């Protein structure tokens, strides 16, 4: 008798856990967000921006925020020294106080070490309503690899 009750309880709890394996509300939000990511839209996406274009924006003094989401340790090794930078490590980016620091009236360019974390963050920021936001393709690596006098933001 006890074996039957335990077996039945285990089976019911297993099916219950599988039935609630994901957040249906969040899944609906993701479905709505990603339903626009068709092959055609992905091909003409302006989500990524190349490092030379960002350097040109800096040289031309285009108004934008350079959002560095690397860890504090990464920033200590190689830091961005532009006046328009905002340093918020990814682990703290989605705290209300930090989201409130992000501009809504100018473009934002996200950067991390290689671009991977920035791609994740930009999708979530877009889902939260930030529209004028892009990822610097290949992150700080792109700056280090492509650095040359012609592309330097300093004249």
- Compute CA 145 distance to the chain's CA centroid, rounded to the nearest angstrom: 22
CA distance 100 to 23: 26
Q: What is the DSSP letter of 65?
A: E
Q: Which residues of the chain have pLDDT under 70?
A: 1-20, 42-44, 146-155
pLDDT tens per residue across span 41-71:
766 677 899 999 999 999 899 999 999 999 9
In a domain, 59, yes or no: yes
User: Which tokens hold the place of 150?
Assistant: 């012609």
- Residue 124 belongs to domain spanning: 40-151
On whether residue 1 sits in a domain, the answer given is no
Rounded to 5 degrees, what angle do the CA atoms 134, 42, 51 make?
Answer: 35
Question: Can you give the CATH number for the domain in which 95 is found?
Answer: 3.40.250.10
How many structural domains compose the chain?
Answer: 1
* Predicted pLDDT at 6: 54
Both structure tokens of 85: 């930078």
Does the residue 14 lie in any domain?
no
């Amino acid at each position: 008798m006890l074996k039957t009750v335990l077996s039945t309880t285990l089976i019911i709890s297993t099916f219950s856990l599988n039935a609630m394996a994901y957040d249906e509300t969040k899944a609906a939000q993701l479905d709505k967000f990603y339903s626009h990511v068709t092959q055609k839209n992905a091909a003409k996406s302006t989500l990524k921006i190349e490092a030379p274009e960002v350097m040109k924006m800096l040289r031309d003094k285009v108004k934008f925020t350079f959002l560095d989401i690397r860890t504090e340790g990464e920033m200590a090794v190689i830091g961005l020294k532009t006046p328009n930078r905002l340093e918020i490590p990814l682990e703290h980016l989605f705290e209300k106080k930090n989201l409130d620091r992000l501009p809504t009236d100018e473009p934002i360019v996200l950067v991390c070490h290689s671009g991977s974390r920035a791609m994740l963050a930009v999708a979530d920021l877009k889902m939260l309503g930030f529209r004028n936001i892009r990822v610097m393709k290949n992150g700080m690596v792109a700056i280090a690899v492509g650095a040359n006098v012609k592309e330097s933001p300093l004249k």
